[in-house]
Amino acid sequence: MSAIVELALALLLAGGGETGPAGTPGFDLSRDAADDFARRVAGKDADEGPDGAAEQPQQEDEKPPRPQSTAAPSEKVSQGLIDFGWLELYPRAGIALFSSKYHINASPAIEIEARAPLPFLSPSSNPEGDYFGAFAQLNFVPIKRTIVPTLAKASGLMSSIALGMDYTLYRDETWLLMPRVGFQYTYYGGVTDLKNGGQVVAGFTAGLGLSRSLVLTLTPEIIYAKTGDYILMGLVGVAIEF
């Protein structure tokens, strides 16, 4: 046992090279201990590599950034030919005046109109505007001809249906200015010597806003037949927005 202790002491005192006697590997415990002490005093990380740089723990690969779409932004979904999402109703009442060839005195008139914007005709400077619109209207006028001698059927209910387009000149929360033109078919209720047929109708609507969805309107109209006869109508009413 003492021989082993003496051998170890001899190696400790003699060591120093990279190789021991007879080419056997050698080691220097004192140097190893000094290096270890210096490393600890300097606060070096135990994970330092041979060149003194700290070895960083292996990290998981970061996720690649989200790819940016190169496609063009989606265009606004088409609303079709007529945008019924902005449907409006215009009930009106007033008076109808007939040209002399009709031989009809001034008569009361009732009219109802429905309109909605035409998105595909909006100007490029205002693609979501409702400058152009389409309308359909019905009107009813009780009439009586004043020809003497009395006709076989002198009175009846004149009724018309019209289709056309309008143009919003100006519109805000207070004012509305909108001309319109269309074509209508008139049925004279079987009154003698009045022929049913098509006519051109043109009008102008001026409005004063009462609330966000209610507008007071004034609408003059002219209905013109190809024979040169005409009917003038003055109507007041409201515009109801849905």
Q: Are 159 and 138 in contact (CB under 8 A)?
A: yes
Mean pLDDT of 85-93: 95
How does pLDDT run across 140-198, given as a tens digit for each residue? 999 999 998 889 999 999 999 999 999 999 988 899 999 999 999 999 999 999 999 99
122 band by pLDDT with thresholds 50, 70 and 90: confident
Bigger pLDDT: 228 vs 25: 228
Average pLDDT, the chain: 79
The set of long-range contacts for 200-205, using a CB threshold of 8 Å and a minimum separation of 24, is: 200/224, 201/160, 201/162, 201/164, 203/179, 203/233, 204/177, 204/178, 204/179, 204/180, 205/90, 205/166, 205/176, 205/177, 205/178, 205/179, 205/180, 205/239
Instruction: Please report where in the chains the tokens 């009008």 appear, as a residue.
Output: 203
Bigger pLDDT: 88 vs 46: 88
Q: Is the pLDDT of residue 72 over 60?
A: no
73 band by pLDDT with thresholds 50, 70 and 90: very low
Bigger pLDDT: 46 vs 7: 7
Decide the pairing of beta strands 175-187 and 197-211. Answer: antiparallel
How does pLDDT run across 198-225, given as a tens digit for each residue? 999 999 999 999 988 899 999 999 999 8
Mean pLDDT of 48-56: 51
- The domains of the chain, with CATH numbers, are 2-41 (no CATH), 84-241 (2.40.160.20)
Query: Phi, psi (5° rounding) for residue 40?
Result: -70, -40
18 band by pLDDT with thresholds 50, 70 and 90: very low
Instruction: State the Cα angle at 223 between 217 and 225, rounded to 5°.
Output: 175
Q: Tell me what pLDDT residue 131 has.
A: 87
Name the percent of the chain lying above pLDDT 90: 52
34 band by pLDDT with thresholds 50, 70 and 90: low
Bigger pLDDT: 65 vs 131: 131
